[in-house]
Structure 1
Amino acid sequence: MYEQTPEWGGTVYTSPPRICLILPLPPSINEQYATVNGHRVSTQAARRFKRTVRSVLRQLEQQGNFSETLLQQFKQSHLALQLDCYFTTPLRRDLDGGLKITQDAICEGLGLNDNRVVDIHLMKHIDPLHPHLAVELETISDWQFDKEYVLLS
């Protein structure tokens, strides 16, 4: 189900720095974890999804799409993440069930800390013949937190 197919892939844009990916749908939240000997562990489906994401990112890197400058921009900027989920039916899955695993897989694959993500958009679409996930990760150069909060150390 999560084997890389010709439809899984991506594009990198430099201005503004942005990565667009087409991925398989992540496993539902109920398929992501199992309890083994009293410990919560990732399921085979979750590990397979993360491997597919790494493979797509590695393919982009091998094609020369990631310069060190571009990766530094992602590492030093706040980030916006958009997920367009194309499900087989409108009501079978929750929209947010694949958010965390997708965010983790992409950020881990790029060497980013996912706490840099400050803006998330999720959308549900229907594509019964070709369920998939369209992802866009973009840098936000002018992000500011509310000025009314002052950090006292």
Structure 2
Amino acid sequence: MPAGRRRTGSHRSQVSVRVVSYRPAAKSEPVSKQPSASDLRPTVRQTHPRVPLHIPESSAVVTGESLDITLPVPPSINHQYATVQGRRVLSSAGRTYKEHVGQQIWLALSRSPHKRALLHRLQSESLALSIRFYFTSPLRRDVDGGLKIAQDALCEGIGLNDNRIVETHLYKDVDRANPRIRIALSLAAR
């Protein structure tokens, strides 16, 4: 049985995992020699299993000319970026969101017989992007706050430069029970 898992009855349950590493103990003066076993002390860090974002399996439609996919609502603009040593970087919530979007796009494309035709057309023609946001409240979020991260995540998941998008449509709806976004990437009208 893998470490970190405990068998209970006939099913497995997730438990947190302890990660232990041995690093030299911090000293006020620089160490010029190789640390000995007595200089090493364990550093213990508690980790928790990540909860994946849930996406229904039948939430994507791939044709030779478009990709239509339902994804979770991206983190708010206040949670997308963090300041680290004076630089604005993508936060862990933003990185996690992009990873999950990439996985869902890969899954949708791998199930479609139109994958090759779609990727060829998306990389050679101008594109139109339509995003319909379904928020829990009409006043809590701006419609443009999720545009950049959703567009970046979609294009990175496909392996496409987002400068190919020449037309964007944003819509805001309310669905208290099922907040989500519906993204459609298609060929732009000529």
Q: TM-score, normalised by structure 2?
A: 0.69
Q: Distance in 2 between matches of 1:83 and 1:96?
A: 10
- 56-65 vs 89-98, greater mean Cα deviation: 56-65
Q: Distance in 2 between matches of 1:94 and 1:12?
A: 28
Partner residue of 1:99 out of 144, 147, 167: 147
CA 1:27 to 1:65, structure 2 compared with 1: closer, same or farther past 3 Å?
farther
- Structure having the higher Rg: 2
Greater relative contact order (Cα 8 A, min sep 6): structure 1 or 2? 1
Partner residue of 1:71 out of 116, 119, 125: 119
SS in 1 for 2:63: strand
- 25-34 vs 65-74, greater mean Cα deviation: 65-74
SS in 2 for 1:97: coil
Q: What residue in structure 1 maps to residue 86 of structure 2?
A: 38
SS in 2 for 1:85: strand
Q: What residue in structure 2 maps to residue 111 of structure 1?
A: 159
Is contact 1:22–1:132 with CA below 8 Å preserved after alignment?
yes
Q: Which has the higher helix share?
A: 1
| Count of residue correspondences | 140
Q: Distance in 1 between matches of 2:113 and 2:60?
A: 10
Unaligned runs of 5+ in 2: 1-50
Unaligned runs of 5+ in 1: 143-153
RMSD: 1.7
CA 1:10 to 1:112, structure 2 compared with 1: closer, same or farther past 3 Å?
same
Counterpart check, 1:11 vs 2:61: yes
Counterpart check, 1:121 vs 2:165: no
Is contact 1:2–1:24 with CA below 8 Å preserved after alignment?
no
Q: Distance in 2 between matches of 1:66 and 1:120?
A: 24
- 60-69 vs 75-84, greater mean Cα deviation: 60-69
Is contact 1:60–1:66 with CA below 8 Å preserved after alignment?
no
Runs of 4+ with >6 A deviation: none
Q: Distance in 2 between matches of 1:47 and 1:103?
A: 14
CA 1:53 to 1:59, structure 2 compared with 1: closer, same or farther past 3 Å?
same
Q: Distance in 2 between matches of 1:28 and 1:34?
A: 12
CA 1:137 to 1:119, structure 2 compared with 1: closer, same or farther past 3 Å?
same
Shift of 1:61: 2.4
Is contact 1:20–1:137 with CA below 8 Å preserved after alignment?
yes
Shift of 1:60: 1.4
CA 1:13 to 1:66, structure 2 compared with 1: closer, same or farther past 3 Å?
closer
- 52-61 vs 3-12, greater mean Cα deviation: 3-12
CA 1:45 to 1:24, structure 2 compared with 1: closer, same or farther past 3 Å?
same
Is contact 1:8–1:24 with CA below 8 Å preserved after alignment?
no
